[in-house]
Structure 1
Amino acid sequence: MRAIVCEQIDQLRLVEQEEPVLQPGTAVVRIRRIGICGTDLHAYKGNQPFFSYPRVLGHELAGIVEQADDPAGNIRPGDQVSIIPYMHCGVCIACRYGKTNCCTAMQVLGVHIDGGMREKIVVPVTHLLVVSGLTLDQAAVLEPLSIGAHAVRRSELREGETVLVIGSGPIGLGVMAFAKHRGARVIAMDIQEERLAFCRKWARVDETVNALQGAKERLAELTDGEFPTVVFDATGNARSMTDAFGLVAHGGKLVYVGLVKADLTFNDPEFHKREMTLMGSRNATIEDFAAVQEALRSGSIDVDSFITHRSSFSEMISRYDSWLRPESKVIKAMVEL
């Protein structure tokens, strides 16, 4: 069985591995689609927290069940599935309160344990979603879109609120799409005009702001000096995440969706003056996956234009470096098997 291993920084290698063996309560899934995530790219460049080498990357996964041992009978051979890659313990304080997305012993496929950048993988049946009504592409992007849906749900965003989403990568775009779905007025911020144009076209945002061109003044103008009541930062950039504190309305919320391998500081008097709420948003839960499935089935999210680059499994290593270059204009790269 073929697999691609990130052996160290800037090094991917195609290797042969043994076929996975079915265990009680698991299924063997033949991988058909692998979405390339910012986490995969950061790990490749040595910028991913909680990561060690060597590692099989890949956690945005869709495939077909080949073998299954499911006592409940929900997962059967031949099922088309999406994989929930967050392996939670089920007994810690977070899991007991339904926050399986931030389990104290979290093991994420492709980060803490080997992921799905291989021809087959064995997964607990509890972490498989039968998605027969979706395409393989839709099933593979279910996970990154669920991260955006989770951030919006966590923010308790209300219809009519003005929100700012900083960063227009796949996660930021997902946040924009689900904020719009909730009836918010959405402002997108990025440093690239082409990215902002994509936000207008794909996520149907109401306004865009170039972060390098008087962003704070422009936001004040767009909000009558009040600023957005919810700000989502999906950049994973320490400077952006720090500056975001100054872009939140009094009584508003700042939600960190992106993750940076650094310490962050903020001005406490400004924080208290605004009585701001600071939130972290990590991964997603089964409720978020269900919400995204519904949105995909309704046709309200266009996956075809979301996926901008494609590769076969055998060609992926040769194309990987190019996806890191800004001039490649990658939104979402998809590997096909």
Structure 2
Amino acid sequence: MRAIICEQVDQLRLVEQEEPVLQPGTAVVRIRRIGICGTDLHAYKGNQPFFSYPRVLGHELAGIVEQVDDQQGKIKAGDQVSIIPYMHCGTCIACRNGKTNCCTDMKVLGVHIDGGMRELVVVPTTHLLVTNDLTLDQSAVLEPLSIGAHAVRRAELRAGETVLVFGSGPIGLGVMAFAKHRGARVIAMDIQEERLAFCKQWAKADETVNAREGAAAKISELTDGDFPTVVFDATGSARSMSDAFSFVAHGGKLVYVGLVKAELSFNDPEFHKREMTLMGSRNATIEDFSAVQEAVRSGSIDVASFITHRVPFAEMINHFDSWLKPESKVIKAIVEL
């Protein structure tokens, strides 16, 4: 079978691999859609934590079950599925407390272990979500949208709160969309005007702010000097993540959804006087996937306009570098098999 390997920084290669063999409690899934994520792009450029080379990338995955060993009979051959790519141990303190998304021995497909940028994968049936009610495209983007949904759930966001989201990539857009679902007033911040326009169009952001144009004064004006009660940073930028502290209301929360391979620092008096809550939000759980599936099924989330670029599997390597460039205007790229 064909697979694409990231052999080292800036190097992808199409190779032939042996087909996987069905194991007890697993399914062999033929991959039909692969979403390209910031994680894949960061790994390609050598900026992804928890990563080693060579690695088969790909963790935003949708496909069709070809073989299955499911004692509960919930999944059958021919089912369309979305893959939950977070392989947790099930026994650590996080898993025992239902926080499988931050397992102490987490193995994420395409990061810690080989992912789904290949024709066939073997996945535990516990990590498959049947999506016969969705399209393949919709199934493939459940994962990135679930990360945003999880961040909003973790923040315990209440209707009527004003939130600020740094970064308008796919994860930030998901945060905005699900914050709006919770009834929040959403302010989007980015450095690209076209991205900010997309935030209003797709995520229904109430206000947008260019981070390069007096952002602090603008946010103060929009909130009558109160500043947002919840700030989400989905940039993956160390500078942005440090600057975000100064945008949080007194008594508010700062939620890091993005991840950066760097040390972060902040001014403790500013942090302390606000009695600020600093939170990390990692991955997502089956509950988040199910919530996103329902939102997509109901039409609340528009996947068609979320996906802006599309290529066949055999041509992906030729396009990968271009997706890193701002002028390509990528929101979400999908690879088809």
TM-score, scaled to structure 1:
1.00
2:276 is equivalent to residue 276 of structure 1: yes
Q: Distance in 2 between matches of 1:287 and 1:31?
A: 23
Deviation of residue 284 (structure 1)? 0.1
- Paired residue for 1:127? 127
Amino acid at match of 1:190: D
What does residue 31 of structure 1 align with? 31
CA distance in 1, matches of 2:130, 2:185: 33
Letter in 2 for 1:331: I
Structure 2 gap segments, 5+ residues each = none
Where does residue 246 of structure 1 map in the other structure?
246
- Counterpart residue type for residue 77 of structure 1: A
Equivalent residue letter for 2:208: T
Q: Note if 1:16 corresponds to 2:12.
A: no
Kindly provide the CA deviation profile for residues 251-281 of structure 1, in whole angstroms up to 9, marking residues without a partner as x. Answer: 0000000000001011111111000000000
How many residues end up aligned between the 2 structures?
337
Give the structure 2 partner of residue 181 of structure 1: 181
Listed one character per residue, the Cα deviations across residues 13-46 of structure 1 (whole Å, up to 9, x for unaligned) are 0000000000000000000000000000000000
Percentage identity across paired residues of the two chains = 85
Alignment of 1:27-66 (within 5 A): 27-66=27-66
1:65 counterpart SS class: strand
Q: How does 1:280-291 map to 2 (within 5 A)?
A: 280-291=280-291
Question: What whole-Å deviation, never above 9, does each CA across 1:116-159 have from its counterpart, x for those lacking one?
Answer: 00000000000000010000000000000000000000000000
Distance in structure 2 (CA, Å) of the matches to 1:182 and 1:221: 23
Unpaired stretches in structure 1, ≥5 consecutive residues: none
Matched, 1:302 2:333: no
2:314 aligned counterpart, secondary structure: coil
Alignment root-mean-square deviation, CA: 0.3
In the alignment, structure 1 residue 219 sits paired with structure 2 residue 219: yes
Q: Secondary structure at the match of 1:314?
A: helix
1:210 paired with 2:204, answer no
Counterpart of 1:136 in structure 2 is 136
Aligned equivalents of 1:155, 1:211: Cα separation in 2: 23
Deviations 1:280-324 (A, max 9, x none): 000000110011011001101100000000000000000100101
Alpha-carbon distance in structure 1 between the residues aligned to 2:185 and 2:130: 33
SS in 1 for 2:23: coil
SS at match of 1:221: helix
Q: CA deviation at 1:75?
A: 1.1
In the alignment, the residues of structure 1 paired with residue 8 and residue 273 of structure 2 have an alpha-carbon distance, to the nearest angstrom, of 46
The residue that corresponds to 2:79 in the other structure is 79
Structure 1 residue aligned with 2:5: 5
Equivalent position SS for 1:180: helix
Q: Where has structure 1 moved over 4 Å in runs of 4 or more?
A: none
Q: Residues of 1 paired with 2:122 and 2:75: CA distance?
A: 13
What is the DSSP-based 3-state SS (H/G/I as helix, E as strand, rest coil) of the residue aligned with 2:290?
helix
Q: Does 1:335 align with 2:314?
A: no
Cα distance in 2 for partners of 1:320, 1:155 equals 34
Could you tell me which residue of structure 1 aligns to residue 323 of structure 2? 323
Matched, 1:145 2:138: no
Distance 2:244 2:301 in 1: 27
Looking at structure 1, the residues matched to 297 and 79 of structure 2 have their Cα atoms a distance apart, in angstroms, of: 17
Q: What does residue 201 of structure 1 align with?
A: 201
